[in-house]
Structure 1
Amino acid sequence: MSSHLTGARRAAPVGPVRIRRATVADAKRLTAMVRRARAYEGPYAAMVEGYRVGPDYIESHAVHVAVDGGGAALGFYALVLDPPELDLMFVADRAQGLGIGRLLVGHLTGEARRAGIDAVRVVSHPPSEGFYLSVGARRVGTCPANPPAVAWDRPELVLPVAADG
């Protein structure tokens, strides 16, 4: 299937997709996923320029990565537990539109539920707001721009965590 934005071909995952805890060995490929994200081209590029998902970040945060049967990283998220907030969530460009984001959100809400959390704050990249709304988040406000890296206002949402799993 072709991307309506770039005409690029999407690659289907090799084998079943699973989500596992990220390890320090994942740091370089997660950093590359962030820096190469097409969603951060143009005016949004400053936010990810030089961004690094380092081994120290992975060791100190709940970072989970979706991988296919061949071990290729398809996406990842980082959940901060106190206060509960989605810190990072990226889906590899080649895996966009394949349900990886929804799979990651389902895993994230399960992790939050196990931690006794009933809702997770999401400060969204503006083009991603529709996705978060489609998975049950609701908009509660706007986070003002914080130049120079974040030169635009961002939607603030809350993602409820169902108690019944």
Structure 2
Amino acid sequence: MSADDGSGAVVRDEVRLRAAVEAEAGPLTELAMRSKAHWGYDETFMAACRPELTMTGSEITAHRTVLAEQPGTGRVLGFGTLEGEPPQGAVGMLFVEPDAIGLGVGRLLFGHLLATARRLGFDRLTIDADPNAEPFYAAMGAVTVGRVPSGTIPGRTLPLMAVDVIASDG
């Protein structure tokens, strides 16, 4: 069940989606770090990932950043970014607080990114997926189409996934 609360935000069950604001870049960076660390990566790997996972204020708007929060508490449960320009773009980031993984927050965010992409005229989105997130994206309708070099670790590759925006439900 979802409803428009008049502010342009979507409220669904106990999660509210809204556009992130520039001042939230620091907290969203830390959320991304906690979410990535959930998969058991060591401190050295996580330190190497920090530059790639760092959000800046200007990226918040440029990357169409949406966040999921608990109404009433304002606790941020996750966020996602839609990057690029139609007809092809990318899910640049999609991270969920570790204690909210598996509760539908990622599905809600991904569905919102797909709906936004449809509305803006995108045909296809790609995802440079963490190997641990590949099953999630596959469940969302994305298909692994290749491998791409990691932006952080030389020699490491990541699954390159794609989703047809028009055909997918998210």
Taking structure 1 as the reference length, the TM-score comes to 0.81
Taking structure 2 as the reference length, the TM-score comes to 0.79
Structure 2 residue aligned with 1:133: 138
List runs of 5+ in structure 1 lacking aligned partners: 1-14
Structure 1 residue aligned with 2:4: none
List runs of 5+ in structure 2 lacking aligned partners: 1-12
Structure 2 residue aligned with 1:75: 78
Instruction: Give the distance between the partners of 1:144 and 1:49, measured in 2 at CA.
Output: 17
Structure 2 residue aligned with 1:10: none
Question: Structure 2 counterpart of 1:41, which letter?
Answer: Y
The aligned runs of 1:35-54 (5 Å cut-off) are 35-37=33-35, 38-39=38-39, 41-42=41-42, 44-50=45-51, 51-54=53-56
Displacement after TM superposition at 1:150 (Å)? 2.5
Residues 1:40 and 1:164: Cα distance change in structure 2 (over 3 Å): closer
> Does the Cα contact within 8 Å between 1:63 and 1:79 map onto a contact in 2?
yes
* Greater strand share, structure number: 2
User: How many matched pairs?
Assistant: 149
Instruction: Give the distance between the partners of 1:109 and 1:154, measured in 2 at CA.
Output: 21
Structure 2 residue aligned with 1:155: 159
Secondary structure at 1:39 match in 2: coil
Structure 2 residue aligned with 1:31: 29
Identity %: 32
> Does the Cα contact within 8 Å between 2:141 and 2:168 map onto a contact in 1?
no
- 1:126-154 superposed Cα distances (whole Å, 9 cap, x missing partner): 111111001100111111345xx234210
* The 10-residue stretch of structure 1 (44-53 or 108-117) with the greater mean CA deviation from structure 2: 44-53
Structure 1 residue aligned with 2:5: none
Structure 2 residue aligned with 1:110: 115
Residues 1:163 and 1:153: Cα distance change in structure 2 (over 3 Å): closer
Runs of 4 or more, structure 1, over 6 Å off, are none
> Does the Cα contact within 8 Å between 2:68 and 2:109 map onto a contact in 1?
yes
Structure 2 residue aligned with 1:4: none
Structure 1 residue aligned with 2:17: 19
> Does the Cα contact within 8 Å between 1:123 and 1:157 map onto a contact in 2?
yes
Structure 2 residue aligned with 1:8: none
Displacement after TM superposition at 1:53 (Å)? 1.1
Structure 2 residue aligned with 1:122: 127
Indicate yes or no: 2:93 matched with 1:91: no
> Does the Cα contact within 8 Å between 1:118 and 1:163 map onto a contact in 2?
no
Displacement after TM superposition at 1:44 (Å)? 4.0
